[in-house]
Every structure is written in C-alpha cells, then in structure tokens.
Amino acid sequence: MASFLITGASKGLGLAFVKELASRPSSEVSKIFAGARTNSDALKELCSQNDADNRVHFVKLDVANQESVKEAASEVEKKLEGKGLDVLINNAAICHYDMQKLTNPTVEKEIMREMTGLEEEFQVNVMGVQYTTREFLPLMERSELKKVANISSTFGSISSASDPAVAWSPCPAYKISKAALNALTVQYALEYQNKGFSFIAVCPGWLKTQIGSDLADLTPEEGAKASLEIILTPGQEYNGKFPMVKVKGWETKEEAASHGGYAGNNVYDGRNIDW
C-alpha cells in the first residue's frame, strides 16, 4: 500500500490524480493527501465519498508560502501515524500568457511584456517545488517507494524551444520556470539516487485544463493515468529523466494527426524528452 501527496489538487491534473488514485483498491493505495490553497467542491465530494475508508484527505497547502508547507508537512506526518510518505507529486503551477499575442498572432512580440510574470511563476513553479520537497523529504526517507514526480512540460525543453509546437505559445516565463524545474529535478536525482529515491520530471501531455485550454489533446484523466504508469514504475529507471507519457492512439504522428486540430504536432509515445 502506498501513500501519496499531490499539490495543486483542487482542479485540473491535480484533481485527476486524486480521482485516479481513489479509484484504485486500498491494497494498492493507502492514503491520498490532496494539497491545495482552497478546497474545491469537486475535491470535497471526493473526500466525502472516501469517508468510510478514510483514504482521501484535504490538506491546506500553498506551495509558495514556506510556513504553509511546514504546517502541511506536520499535518501529513500526524495522519501517517509513524509511516513514511511514498510518493510526492509536485503538480501545482501557474502560467501567464500574453493574451494580446495569443489572440492576435500578428502583434509584434515584446519579450519584456511577456516576462512580467517571471518572478511569480518562479516562486510557484520552482521555489514552491523546492519548499515542498525539502519539507517532505524526511517523511519520504521512511518510506519504501521514495518517488518524487515534478510535473513538467515540453515547454521546459531548451533544445525544443524553436520547435513550432513549443515556439508558438506566448508564455516565456512559464517555459523558463519549467526549464529551471527540470534542472532542479536532476540535481535532486543525483543527490538522492544512492538513498533509493527517484526524482522524475514528468510531461503529462498537453491537457484540457485551465493552463492547457480546450484546444489541448488529452483530458486530465488521461494525463494522470499515463503519468502514474511512469511514476510507479518499480526501481529507479526514470530517476533524473524527463519522460513523455505514453497514450494509446497517440504514439505515432499518423495517429496524433487523426485527432485533428493541433494534435499532429504532439506524439505521446513514452520517449525521454531532450533537455
């Protein structure tokens, strides 16, 4: 039985992770800690549905606030009753788009205008992961699995920055923050590999969430399920790696193109993405 903590769990991919884990038997998933700044109606319903077996717990957690993270770690430790935390999924993130550029692609790109959210995005997307990982590591050292998944994006791939599937989106601050997140992941992977940890920068695909929009390829549920297949791979195969999810029906360009829209640019074949 494994225990999980997911940040940004009140909506989107984070909520999909909670739903997927809650659907699995208690012999596989023991406790699910849904961390978020506020408790959404959807998350409240999930918690109430699992009242009988006491598996899903809302934990107030603002990843950008160090005191909030410390309080959340203390709460989770109490609820684990001496056991360790097996899996940490650092999912919480924000993204600022330049709406003028997004709605009118002919507008001249002003990089300084688009970078106005850089400090805030770094605080959440990078420092938030650092704060959370740092506070929960002692709990994870007591566990068996020791899996830390940092939810990343192909937008964080420097080598892919000029690819049309990446370059079109006017969110440079988000791209920079995800590149930094990838670097953070690798440093932790190197430092903790001898202790049995796996630190993974997982790309869940382009998802139909608030960040991804309705134009995206996959549902949050598809992204969560495929991501968990990677995260829960036994051993340390993915430690320090940047894997793309693998989704049936999206594994070749021909399959992806059959879905229409922008889909032809995105293949979900389980490959390791170039940094």
For the stretch 121-135, pLDDT in tens is 999 999 999 999 999
For the stretch 133-179, pLDDT in tens is 999 999 999 999 999 999 999 999 999 999 887 888 889 999 999 99
Q: What is the pTM of this model?
A: 0.93
DSSP string, the chain: -EEEEESSTTSHHHHHHHHHHHTS-TTTEEEEEEEESS--HHHHHHHHHTTTTT-EEEEE--TT-HHHHHHHHHHHHHHHTTPPP-EEEE--------HHHHH-TTSPP-HHHHTTTHHHHHIIIIIHHHHHHHHHHHHHTTSSS-EEEEE--GGG-STTTTSHHHHTS--HHHHHHHHHHHHHHHHHHHHHGGGT-EEEEEB--SBSSTTT-TTSSB-HHHHHHHHHHHHT-STTTTTT--BBPB-TT-SSHHHHHTT-TTGGG---B-PBPP-
For the stretch 97-108, pLDDT in tens is 864 544 445 545
Domain range summary for the chain, segments of one domain joined by +: 2-265
Q: Class of the 2-265 domain?
A: alpha beta
The pLDDT assigned to 122 comes to 95
